[in-house]
Amino acid sequence: MNEARKWLRGFRYAYEGIKYALSTQRNMKFHFMVAFAVLILALFFHLSKLEILFILLSVTLVIVTELINTGVEKAVDLAMPDKHPLAKIAKDAAAASVLVSAVFAVAVGLIVFYDPIDRLFLHIRESADPGKVQEIWVFISIVLMAVTVIQTRYSMSKGAIFRPSMMVAVSFAVSTLISMLVRQTLIILMAYLLSVLLALVLYEKTERSLGSILFSGIFGSFITVLVYVLVQYI
C-alpha cells in the first residue's frame, strides 16, 4: 500500500511540474497549442500509423525538453541568483535542447503533412480565382477595416483574445490570397511560414496573449475566404 501511495504521489508531483510549466512559461503554452493543432490535423488528414508515431515522438520530445529547460532555469536561479558566466552557459545549453527538438518537430511536420496539404491546396486551387489585381486590394482593405472595427471594440482590454493584431491578420490574409494564386504548394507553405514567423516575433516582443495572436491569423484567413465565397456565390 505504501508503494502504491509513493507511486501516486510521484505521479502527482510530475503533474504539478507540468501544470507549473504550462501556467508560467510562455513557450510551453505555445508548444501545447501547436501540439493540439497538429494532432487535430493528423486526424483530419487520416495519417498513417507510422506518420502519427513520428508526430507523437516530435510532440513528446519538444514538451520534454521544454520541461527540462524550465527545471534547469529554476535550479540555476536558486543556486546562482546573480549573473554568472557558467549560469548563462547552463541556461543557454538547456534552451538549445528545446531549439533542436523544435527544429526536428518542424522538419517532421513538413515531411509528414506536405503531401496531404498539397492535395488540399490542389483542390482549393481548382475552384479558387480571386480575380483581378484591384480586387485583391479590396480583399486586403476589407480585412484592414474588419480588424480596425474589432480593435476599437476591444480597445479597453489590452490582453483580450478577440483583439486581433493588424499585422498578423493582414499577413495571413495575404498568405491566403497567395494560396489562391500560386500553383506550387511549397511557395504557399513558405508564405504561411513567413506569416507564422511574424506572429512569433510579435508574440515575443509585445504583450499580446497567445490566444490573441492565434485569433489574428485565423481571423485574417477567415475574412479573406468569406469574402471570396460571398463574391463568387452570392
Active-site annotation, residues: 66
Question: What is the rounded CA–CA span in Å between residue 231 and residue 198?
Answer: 29
DSSP codes, 189-232 = HHHHHHHHHHHHHHHHHSS--HHHHHHHHHHHHHHHHHHHHHHH
Question: What is the rounded CA–CA span in Å between residue 169 and residue 148?
Answer: 11
Half-sphere exposure of 50 (CA within 13 A, CB side): 2
Identify whether the C-beta of residue 42 lies closer than 8 Å to the C-beta of residue 52: yes
